[in-house]
């Protein structure tokens, strides 16, 4: 975290003989507790899942001034960084899933088997366009609800949640729209979002996961910065190779390495996708935790530079779309009845 213009911790920067080991520090959020049911959990009614507890660092606070749970947590994380060894740092990642997109509507309409084997490879059908899917009105409302949650929980409103100091966004339209609706109207001075290529959803086959040209993003979202070397045309998407989960975990680990080595801020926002967030959680050794559209999850992360070479997982074959066992156009006709 930046305090008075100076950083309060050192940023690990792994060499070729070392790597960054990521660990979820448990005991701070309900979401990292195995007893918490993700299908029933609502972060907006549970203070983002922050557990009501005391910290050994509470004694460093002025006893004459009451502090919220989030303010005491932020103080605790700051002191963790201050007292940590030079090869260790802590960050709090707020990971938000985009609101409902038109691809979500289409998958529900046709059913997942027909969607995976046929419809997902089209740009759209039946008056619906899901190529680099945009948000539906429902998706926009979901993002607005998250915006209101942030608004009422920021320090100015007495909630004490530290606003993110850095904002990273997937290059897919629905994620950028979600970030803009969620944070753009809050007047947060640090809201200077950066579009990161690696933060996107599983790559390939599904047209909803093929991004638009860089020039389109610049024109439609001029306040967003594209990371260095961001290509004009999508360099990753292919029509015949669907990125498997093991490869997605490697990609998300590469993203984490980039951010932890180059961003000295402590509270960081990711606006992304269900698959991408699932792989981020896996890379952070967090338990599986599903997010509904518009959902979000915070994680306290310990990053430590260790000697040796990171063990890479075996990459499974491409998750190529399965063959249809039924006529997908017939399935669509039945679904409309």
Point out the residues that are catalytic: 98, 201
For residues 163 and 147, give the distance between their C-alpha atoms in angstroms, rounded to a whole number. 12
Is there a contact between 10 and 111 (Cβ–Cβ < 8 Å)?
A: no
Is there a contact between 252 and 279 (Cβ–Cβ < 8 Å)?
A: yes
Distance, C-alpha 172 to centroid of its chain: 13
For residues 127 and 123, give the distance between their C-alpha atoms in angstroms, rounded to a whole number. 11
Dihedral angle computed from the Cα positions of residues 155, 156, 157 and 158, in that order, rounded to the nearest 10 degrees: 40
For residues 215 and 222, give the distance between their C-alpha atoms in angstroms, rounded to a whole number. 10
Residues 6+ apart with CB under 8 A from 287: 32, 34, 281
In terms of Cα–Cα distance, which of 231, 241, 244 is closest to 121? Answer: 241
Give me 147's structure tokens. 């915006």
For residues 332 and 150, give the distance between their C-alpha atoms in angstroms, rounded to a whole number. 39
In angstroms, the Cα distances linking 67 to 22, 45, 73, 158 are 30, 20, 10, 9
Q: Which residue has the tokens 């074959």?
A: 317
């Amino acid at each position: 975290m930046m305090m008075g213009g100076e950083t309060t911790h050192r940023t690990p920067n792994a060499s070729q003989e070392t790597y960054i080991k990521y660990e979820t520090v448990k005991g701070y959020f309900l979401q990292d507790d195995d007893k918490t049911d993700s299908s029933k959990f609502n972060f907006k009614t549970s203070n983002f899942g922050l557990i009501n507890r005391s910290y050994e660092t509470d004694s460093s606070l002025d006893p004459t001034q009451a502090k919220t749970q989030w303010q005491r947590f932020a103080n605790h994380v700051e002191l963790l960084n201050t007292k940590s060894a030079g090869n260790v740092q802590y960050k709090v990642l707020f990971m938000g899933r985009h609101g409902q997109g038109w691809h979500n509507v289409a998958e529900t309409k046709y059913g997942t088997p027909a969607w995976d084997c046929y419809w997902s490879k089209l740009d759209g059908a039946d008056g619906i366009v899901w190529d680099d899917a945009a948000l539906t009105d429902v998706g926009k409302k979901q993002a607005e609800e998250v915006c209101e949650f942030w608004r009422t929980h920021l320090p100015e409103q007495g909630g004490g949640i530290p606003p993110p100091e850095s904002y990273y966004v997937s290059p897919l339209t629905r994620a950028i729209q979600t970030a803009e609706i969620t944070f753009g109207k809050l007047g947060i001075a640090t809201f200077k979002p950066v579009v990161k290529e690696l933060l996107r959803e599983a790559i390939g086959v599904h047209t909803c996961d093929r991004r638009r040209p860089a020039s389109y993003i610049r024109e439609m979202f001029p306040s967003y910065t594209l990371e260095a070397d961001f290509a004009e045309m999508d360099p990753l998407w292919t029509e015949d190779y669907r990125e498997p989960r093991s490869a997605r975990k490697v990609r998300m680990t590469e993203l984490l390495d980039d951010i932890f080595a180059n961003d000295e801020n402590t509270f960081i926002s990711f606006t992304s996708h269900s698959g991408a967030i699932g792989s981020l959680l896996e890379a952070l050794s967090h338990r599986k935790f599903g997010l509904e559209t518009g959902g979000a999850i915070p994680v306290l992360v310990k990053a430590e530079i260790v000697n040796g070479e990171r063990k890479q997982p075996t990459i499974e074959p491409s998750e190529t779309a399965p063959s249809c066992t039924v006529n997908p156009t017939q399935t669509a006709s039945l679904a409309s009845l």
